A and B are shown apart, each in its own frame.
Chain A
């Protein structure tokens, strides 16, 4: 981006204060305000989902009943999974940072369909309302995976939960369509595909998965609703149905869904690693194409969730091999990120602390993913705490760290203020430590044979459970600290300049916070993204 088009000192008028009525927020079509609204909603979801997790871990402090009964426990882990997967992780980075920064990185004034974007917000709210309603009425106890025939015969309130997720799926699909069309049709002059920031590539790949996979979830939930309400017998062996059909349909969506959860985070890491190492991404094309590779190959690996389900040995073998191939794309990225640090000029700020956490957790978590894809080993590990630890390493250790990296990296840009760096590092350390303390014991529990979704457990597992619960409490305090200082920084933080990190990302060529329509003049793209061969000054105060 030409430096001559850079904005001058931050204007007093920006997207936050241009209009301040409630109506201007509720009916906004400004992608930045929509991003902020999503930020508030997903943080609420993170809090609710996290509370359920803490309640579960308290119950698990003792082998027998601690303070709740079995049905309540089963409802809690179901809602924990549903809220964290669908209401927090899947929307988190795309709907917050994707909405906020995609148009800016492309030099556009907004996304392709701004009104559709607003509709996506309200669809999310309606979906959340149904799920909240279900929670108040007791909530489903099936686990977030809803396996039949249990889910089609349980007496708990499954239907409103299914409806809530079904509605939420439309929010995801519409956002995905919006982003795909935006990237195709709204790139600025000079911005070829190979000049797109890697965050855009990640969001683009994620949007493709969202558009293709989510409808299958919609159908599966619809069929489950019909089965539960009318007993059509589609999954009921007594009427000739096959419970495994449900599993195939469910995992056909849910495996690509985990790539929806991690791919955007990888995009954030590409941006932040490049900025904080002040260096070009080592192999831009490899990272860009691997985002598409994950999107494509990820659709062919779903059966690795079903190795002991009764599917044929041939199926299991095929899915095992395909799962190994999808892992290659991640290892390309890890190599690239670490290699980007080589020859760099690294500064250890809070986002970089999260990058380090992300790298360790992604490699460890990802390789334990390879381990459970090794079929004979999965026979022992399936449905034990080993798998729970594996996916939390990726979803929390990697994806959530990437979200926090992005949140700290982009906070000054979004809100025009800096957060306190010291507290940032303290919280990051607490979170990384707490995370390890919570989930490493769970790998060991899985090895011992501790099954998942267990309300009571034999005494020999107690020590590790207590350790894990202690870690969870530590993790909670880490999040609490972050929440406090970020909220305080909104009002009392140092005013951040246009580019406090000295980043060469295109989005830093706007004011902090950006103007309502992003640019005075449409920017022209005449250089590579992530290019640090020319000096950039860190401007940490408004001049």
Chain B
């Protein structure tokens, strides 16, 4: 399948088609940013209301694990960027490898994050009515974990989706689909992955680093 080798009949040229696909993806990324924005607002409000609990909660999270997760995601983004470069130079094999590395980092991130979640489940550091964590009893203690689970949960869902996209692209690359005339899918899929990474770059300091 060579979706871009022949321009769709309603576009005036392949270049216009690529431009349209890119613009469409940027518009979609804007919606994702607005989706997370509301949760960031909630974080800011509750942090200012329950400063002490948020400080203690932040200290309690595993910053070391989170730093590893950050490194993992950034590595993945680099691999995806390289994959895009390789499609531009007609090297589908290397592109597939880059995409698969990206997908693997996605899975690694989810696994590490899962470890964090399991720890919290065991301790009872859970949202709302499930909160039974004895070490932090200050007012609004459960709210920190509510915000934490909502932010990281929504983000993890997007990491999962992004991983799926990368796997799909890797399969296409393995079949030799892409070329310097047909690379939009990798470029736009890569854009999506970079956004997922970017959101984590904001979450990481807000949840794990500030105190």
- Is there direct touching of A and B in the complex, by C-beta distance under 8 Å? yes
A112 at the interface (CB under 8 A from B): yes
B32 nearest CB neighbor, chain A only = A215
Q: A109-B9, A232-B127 are in contact. Are A239 and B16 (CB under 8 A)?
A: no
In the complex, residue of chain B having the shortest beta-carbon distance to the beta carbon of A227? B128
Please provide the chain B residues from 54 to 103 with a CB less than 8 Å away from any CB of chain A in the complex.
Answer: none
Residues of B within 8 A of A240 (CB): 46, 49-50, 139-140, 142-143
In the complex, whether B28 has a CB less than 8 A from a CB of chain A is: yes
**Given A109-B10, A240-B46, A213 and B150 contact (CB-CB distance below 8 Å):** no
CB atoms of A231 and B128 under 8 A apart: yes
Identify 15 residue pairs between A and B in the complex whose beta-carbon atoms are under 8 Å apart, listed by A's number: A114-B10, A176-B27, A177-B27, A185-B19, A185-B23, A211-B30, A215-B35, A223-B42, A232-B127, A239-B146, A240-B50, A240-B142, A241-B143, A248-B41, A249-B41
If A226-B150, A233-B143, A240-B46 touch, whether A216 touches B24 (CB-CB below 8 Å) is no
Inter-subunit contact A180/B27 (CB<8 Å): yes
B34, A213: Cβ atoms under 8 Å?
A: yes
B34 touches A232 (CB 8 A): no
Chain A proximity of B207: nearest CB distance (Å): 16
Which residues from B are CB-within-8-Å of A531?
A: none
- A233 and B10 contact, Cβ closer than 8 Å, known pairs A219-B38, A249-B38: no
- Render A101-126 as a binary contact track against B, CB cut-off 8 A, 1 for contact: 00000001110111000000000000
Q: Counting CB contacts under 8 A, is A539 at the interface?
A: no
**Which of chain A's residues have a CB closer than 8 A to the CB of B147?**
234
Q: Mark B120-136, 1 if CB is under 8 A from A, else 0.
A: 00000001110100000
The reply to whether A181 and B23 contact each other, CB–CB distance below 8 Å, is: yes
By a CB distance below 8 angstroms, the chain B residues around A214 are: 31
Please give the number of chain B residues whose Cβ is less than 8 angstroms from any Cβ of chain A in the complex: 39
Contacts of B50 in A (CB 8 A): 240
* Chain A residues with CB below 8 A from B31, complex form: 173, 177, 211-212, 214-215
Whole-angstrom distance between the alpha carbons of A113 and B9 in the complex? 12
Which residue of chain A has the shortest Cβ distance to B12 in the bound complex? A186
Interface residues on A, range: 35 or more
Q: What CA separation (Å) do A249 and B143 show in the bound complex?
A: 17
Contact A232 B146, beta carbon cutoff 8 Å: yes
Question: In chain B, residues 142-177, which have Cβ atoms closer than 8 Å to a Cβ of chain A?
Answer: 142-143, 146-147, 149-150, 154
Which residues on B are within 8 Å of A, measured CB to CB?
9-12, 16, 19-20, 23-24, 27-28, 30-32, 34-39, 41-42, 45-46, 49-50, 127-129, 131, 139-140, 142-143, 146-147, 149-150, 154
Interfacial chain B residues near A245, Cβ < 8 Å: 41-42, 45
Query: Chain A at the B interface: mostly helix, strand, loop or mixed?
Result: helix
Q: Is A252 an interface residue (CB 8 A)?
A: yes
Bound-complex Cα distance A112 to B7 (A): 12
Give CA–CA (A112, B22) in the complex, Å: 12
- Which residue of B has the minimal Cβ distance to A112? B20
A211 to B34 Cα, complex, angstroms: 9
Bound complex: CA A230 to CA B11 (Å): 48
Nearest CB in chain B: distance from A458 CB, A: 39
Min CB distance A443 to B, Å, is: 34
Measured between alpha carbons, how far is A226 from B50 in the docked complex, in Å? Answer: 21
Tell me how far the C-beta of B35 lies from the nearest C-beta in chain A, rounded to whole angstroms.
4
Produce 1/0 per residue, A417-437, CB < 8 A to B. 000000000000000000000
**Is A184 on the interface with B (CB-CB < 8 A)?**
yes
Residues of A within 8 A of B45 (CB): 242, 245
Q: Which of A108, A176, A180, A248 contacts B10 (CB 8 A)?
A: A108
- Contact between A236 and B24, CB atoms less than 8 A apart: no
Set B28, B34, B128: member contacting A233, Cβ < 8 A = B128
- How far is it, in angstroms, between the C-alpha of A191 and the C-alpha of B36 when the chains are bound? 37
| B residues less than 8 Å from A233 (CB atoms) | 127-129, 142-143, 146
Name the B residues within 8 Å of A114 (CB-CB): 10
Closest to B16 in A: A185
B contact residues around A241 at 8 Å (CB): 143, 146
- From A114, A211, A219, A223, residue with most partner B Cβ within 10 Å: A219
